[in-house]
Amino acid sequence: MVEFSLPLCIYCGVDEAGRGPLAGPVVAAAVILDPAQPIGGLADSKKLSAQRRAQLYDVICRQARAWHIAQATVEEIDQLNILQATLLAMQRAVAGLSLVPEMALIDGNRCPDLTMPAQAIIKGDDKVEAISAASILAKVYRDRLLHQLDRVFPQYGFANHSGYPTAEHKAALNAYGASPHHRRSFAPVKAVLAKQFTAAGQSDLLALDPFSPKSIARTVFVRTDQLELQFD
DSSP 124: G
* 91-95, 171-175, 197-201, 207-211: the lowest-pLDDT one: 207-211
* Mean pLDDT score, 162-180: 96
What confidence tens digit (pLDDT) does each residue in 29-50 have?
999 999 999 999 999 999 999 9
Phi and psi at 185, nearest 5°, equal -80, -10
Percent of the chain with pLDDT over 90: 78
CB-neighbour burial class of residue 185 (10 A; exposed 0-12, middle 13-18, buried 19+): middle
Architecture of domain 11-148: 2-Layer Sandwich (3.30)
- Are the CB atoms for 81 and 25 separated by under 8 Å? no
144-175: burial string, b at 16+ Cβ within 10 Å, e else:
bbbbbbbeebeebbbeebbbbbeeebeebbee
CB-neighbour burial class of residue 178 (10 A; exposed 0-12, middle 13-18, buried 19+): buried
Distance between CA atoms of 17 and 142, rounded to whole angstroms?
Answer: 7
Domain boundaries along the sequence of the chain:
11-148, 154-218
- Are the CB atoms for 183 and 189 separated by under 8 Å? yes
Please enumerate in sequence order all residues whose Cβ is within 8 A of that of 35, keeping only pairs 6 or more positions apart, or say none.
Answer: none
- Map residue 73 onto helix, strand or coil: coil
* Mean pLDDT score, 137-147: 98
Residue-averaged pLDDT of the chain: 88
- Identify the pLDDT of residue 229: 53
What confidence tens digit (pLDDT) does each residue in 186-204 have?
999 999 998 877 766 654 5
Element (H, E) at 56: helix 50-63
DSSP 29: E
Neighbour count for residue 117 (Cβ, 10 Å): 13
Distance between CA atoms of 103 and 86, rounded to whole angstroms?
Answer: 19
What confidence tens digit (pLDDT) does each residue in 59-113 have?
999 999 999 999 999 999 999 999 999 999 999 999 999 999 999 999 999 999 9
- Identify the pLDDT of residue 197: 74
